[in-house]
Amino acid sequence: MKKRRVLALALALCLLLAGCKGIGEEYELAIGARGSDSYALGEEIAAALAAAGPEVQLVPVETHGTLSSVELLAEGGAEFALLDASLARQAYAENDRLRAVTAVAPLCVQLVVTNASGILTVSDLRARRVALGSELEGTASLAVDIVEASGLELKDLQRREMTMGDAIEALQSGELDAAFLLAVPGSTQIQQLARNCSVRFIGISGDAAKAAMGGREFMEYELPANCYEGQEEAVQTVATDLLLVCDASVSDSMVEAVKRTLDEVLAETLELQGIALRGYAKNIYSIPTHNGATRAAEGGR
């Protein structure tokens, strides 16, 4: 009887280990909605890792937005995800298996308006057609706080709920006057917009910046000049980190390999895409760091 129990436990252990992934196997990476910067960067990250060798393979998985990515990760449908640091902190409160791997790039609030609109400040958004972002991308509540801290109410705006990709298309077609976009500095999608449409970038500072940072993992940030065509001056705003996160069950060796590879190739990959990293300090780790990432940072000690 005792021998049977031992054999049963050994079989169960083998089955458990068989279900664990290792180096060289495919892991799913939740990258958010098509048209968002997390989607574009997720594809770039997966491609950069694949080019570096077969040991580290992340397969991009499209979701409806970053909130959907959080759900997919919690349900076990993906092992990795790209989340902003503020959202990662909120997600960790519900899922304490969430771990940080590395900071990828700054994500800053970019209030983009058409020059034809004549908008010069946040207060000028009154009665204008404004995309505040999508709830599924986590941008809407941030934009609402900025608008209200600027002396406006939501009823003062012709509010539109749109993903980043849809908002950029609407700005270009003249269906929108302004859009709040949470994007990397030098975002490829916004670069294309600036080339095809005359736009300007509105600063977010003072009470509006404080409202955006309140209770969130955001900091004051200066969007560097010349990130986009026609943007000759730096723009004051707020930013957070875009984090690569994973489930705690991912092995230390896999996470260490991911971080080591990204540390070697990511900066060059982003700069080739025109993403501005000038003055960027990776300092917002709002959740515990995975042991494998810590080991990589310490040189494998």
Q: What is the DSSP string of 66-128?
A: HHHHHHHHHHTS-SEEEEEHHHHHHHHHH-TTEEEEEEEEEEEEEEEEEGGGT--SGGGGTTS
Residues in the chain: 301
User: Which pLDDT score is estimated for 206?
Assistant: 96
Confirm whether 70 is domain-assigned.
yes
Please report which confidence band the pLDDT of residue 279 belongs to, taking 50, 70 and 90 as the band edges.
low
Q: Is residue 7 part of a domain?
A: no
Is residue 245 in a domain? yes
Are 153 and 225 in the same domain? yes
**Residue 230: inside a domain, yes or no?**
yes
Among candidate residues 91, 132, 64, 140, the one with its CA nearest the CA of residue 286: 91
Asked if the structure places residue 101 within a domain, the reply is yes
pLDDT band at 53 (very low <50, low <70, confident <90, very high): confident
Range of the domain at 219: 108-240
Within a domain: residue 73? yes
The CATH number assigned to the domain holding 264 equals 3.40.190.10
Mark whether 234 and 120 lie in a shared domain: yes
For tokens 């723009």, what's the residue?
Answer: 235
- The CA-atom distances, in angstroms, between 22 and each of 46, 49, 56, 125, 155 are 17, 15, 9, 51, 52
Which residue stretches of 95-229 are H helix?
140-149, 164-173, 188-196, 206-213
Separation CA 247–CA 253 (nearest Å): 14
Residue 14: the pLDDT is 37
Q: Is the pLDDT of residue 52 over 80?
A: yes
Residues 165 and 228 in one domain: yes
What is the pLDDT confidence band of residue 139, given thresholds at 50, 70 and 90? confident
- 96 and 113 belong to one structural domain: no
Q: Which residues, 6+ apart, have CB-to-CB distance to 159 below 8 Å?
A: 130, 132
Same domain (yes/no): 69, 86? yes
**206/248 same-domain check:** no
Q: What is the tally of structural domains in the chain?
A: 2
